[in-house]
Amino acid sequence: MVNAAASRLGVRSGMTVSAAHGLTAPLRVHGRDASAERATLDRLAAWAGQFTSMVSLMPPQALLLEVEGSRRLFGGLDRLREGVRQGLAELGYHARLALAPTPLGAAWLARAGGEPCITDRDALVGALSALPLACLDLPGKARDALAAMGVQRLGECLRLPRDGLARRLGPELVRRFDRALGRHPDPRPAFVAPPVFNARLLLPAPLDNAEALLFPLRRLLLELSGFLKSRALGAQSLRFDLHHPKAATTGLALDLVAPSCDAQHLTALLRERLERVILPEPVEEVALASTALRPAAARNLDFFAPARSPREARVLLLERLQVRLGRQAIHGLEAVAEHRPERAWRYVDPGTSGGKAVFSNRPLWLLPEPVRLVMQQDRLILDGVLSLGRERERIESGWWDGQDVARDYFIARNPRGACFWIFRELTAGGGWFLHGIFS
């Protein structure tokens, strides 16, 4: 394979390496890695499942997508092809998209170059007849025999007697032509995506800037997004591994509040996370794995509704705060059936639906520790003299765990109208304390 830059300098496929170096001294030659190519093709097949339920592999470098059932879903063939094209471009691939009534016909047309869109079988016969035999990926023996007979295009081959062609080159070649033309069925095995997502990407050059890793990692996130959409799933947890030449692997984790398959949202979270990463040395390879997959939540869409519902907006905000500040810094609160105020709540994961408050006449703002109030001439002072309400709440509880309390709580106000929650200690020593503030 020759890239565009080498092709402009005159390098061609099939040329010897020494001849290519004679054209351009700084030429870089890379050996093919068959296992890496197959892994890439598998990942692309899993990604392409978002466009159709039927994807087949055609190694080493082709995918077959059956799109007849998807054309209405995506608004027609043109919009469907544009979606596939744009998605592949975002992944960094250059592809030739050919559409035909038969899988083999589409593959041959794509190999010939151009991007025809043929939906009629009669038109398919004409398009395939013009193809040179080099585009048909024929066995070497059949290709040489046809070349010796002066046959250069498929149309010329089709005009030969079928029986004679089958005797000389084998019946399989004739059946192959029939499958391409739609005269015989051509069933293809469906690609089955793996149960979890796991992908690696070797970088073209080591990167020593953590924020620069966002570009290759976004490519993996786009692959993950297609994989999840094809199966109506969302990722709850992501694991990134940054491989260094000598140092130990740097691991990054993204734990989400709700499952997501939105590549844009996941990229924004990763950007926040990378800002706090210090690399021990340059990164030469990145990997992404997601094993915690959950069914994606379905929702009805309204024509006049915003792009995201209020609940979705809250989830996105929580996740961005967790990535920026740390998971341990963001909590939810849940009421607990407990009379002692300092034990009547607990931390929970954000978004968790907790119990309802048992006591409605208590403030939401409790001080970390009760503060002793000043007494002057038997009057309580807090920015002025406090006046107590008539209602009193007595709490005597906790004897079973050694943290027992005995208190009388009152709602008090000062001359400025501020409202406080205070209590009088009923045990030995007594005293008045401020415990909470009403809004």
What's the confidence (pLDDT) of residue 187?
92
Contact between 106 and 115 (Cβ < 8 Å): no
Tell me how many degrees the CA angle 257-262-267 measures, rounded to the nearest 5: 85
How far is the C-alpha of 50 from the C-alpha of 56, rounded, in Å?
Answer: 14
How far is the C-alpha of 359 from the C-alpha of 168, rounded, in Å?
Answer: 93
Count CB-CB contacts under 10 A for residue 370. Answer: 20
Tell me how many degrees the CA angle 16-19-24 measures, rounded to the nearest 5: 125
Ordered mean pLDDT values, 10 residues apiece, the chain (439 residues): 79 82 80 87 95 93 93 91 94 93 94 88 92 86 88 90 90 92 93 93 92 94 95 92 94 87 91 90 95 75 56 72 75 83 83 65 89 91 92 90 91 93 89 92
Torsion of CA 27, 32, 36, 41, to 10 degrees: 100
DSSP string, 315-357: HHHHHHHHHHH-GGG--EEEE-S-SSGGGSEEEE-TT---BPP
Contacts of 2 (CB under 8 A, 6+ apart): 11, 12, 13
pTM of the model: 0.73
Q: Where in the chain is the domain with CATH 3.30.1490.100?
A: 198-321
Strands (E) across 228-315 are located at 233-243, 250-260, 283-295
> How crowded is the C-beta side of 276, counted as CA atoms within 13 Å?
12
How far is the C-alpha of 428 from the C-alpha of 414, rounded, in Å?
Answer: 28
Contacts of 404 (CB under 8 A, 6+ apart): 396, 397, 398
Torsion of CA 137, 143, 147, 148, to 10 degrees: 180
How far is the C-alpha of 385 from the C-alpha of 34, rounded, in Å?
Answer: 84
The architecture CATH gives domain 198-321: 2-Layer Sandwich (3.30)
CA 142 to chain CA centroid, Å, is 46
What's the confidence (pLDDT) of residue 356?
66
Of residues 216, 226, 189, 215, the one with CA closest to residue 43: 226
Of residues 133, 54, 67, the one with CA closest to residue 99: 67
What's the confidence (pLDDT) of residue 11?
84
Give the SS3 label for residue 308: coil
Of residues 195, 269, 280, 205, the one with CA closest to residue 242: 280
Backbone angles phi, psi at 49, to 5 degrees: -65, -15
For the chain, the maximum distance between any two Cα atoms, rounded to a whole number of angstroms, is: 122
Which helix (H) or strand (E) element contains residue 168? Answer: helix 162-169
What's the confidence (pLDDT) of residue 29?
82
Of residues 51, 78, 72, the one with CA closest to residue 63: 51
Count CB-CB contacts under 10 A for residue 178. Answer: 16
Provide the 8-state DSSP code for 240.
E
What's the confidence (pLDDT) of residue 354?
61
**Long-range own/partner contacts, residues 427-435 (CB < 8 A, 24 or more apart):** 431/372, 431/373, 432/372, 432/373, 432/375, 432/380, 433/370, 433/371, 433/372, 433/373, 434/367, 434/370, 434/371, 434/373, 434/382, 435/341, 435/366, 435/367, 435/370, 435/409
